[in-house]
Amino acid sequence: MLASKHLLKQIYRKESYSWGDLRTLRMGNAYTCIIHPEHLAAINRGEDFTCEQGYRWKTNIDGGIVTLRHGNDKFTISLAELNA
């Protein structure tokens, strides 16, 4: 029996549009969190938000590190990097 272990890499991308910046956090092809400007404002206040996919993301900020969690899905990123 062969067992393979797939390591997922977190990818952060920021794109600018006329209405503002769109931020995308992606964990391989497993799950994605799409962050619009109003979601970023909620994250900066430490508030939970619902992304455009309808997922409710719980926000936790500890020592300048943001953790976004939806069920077992989780992203960790520096608050400074997210706001850059």
pLDDT per residue over 6-57, tens digit each? 578 999 999 999 999 999 999 988 999 999 999 999 999 999 999 999 999 9
Q: To which H or E segment does residue 79 belong? A: helix 79-83
Residue 2 has pLDDT above 50, yes or no: no
pLDDT in tens, 47-82: 999 999 999 999 999 999 999 999 999 999 999 999
pLDDT at 8 (0 to 100): 82
Q: Are 56 and 71 in contact (CB under 8 A)?
A: no
What contacts 66, CB < 8 A, 6 or more positions away?
43, 59, 60, 75, 76, 77, 78, 79, 82
pLDDT at 1 (0 to 100): 40
Residue 39 half-sphere exposure, CB side, CA atoms within 13 Å?
23
pLDDT at 11 (0 to 100): 96
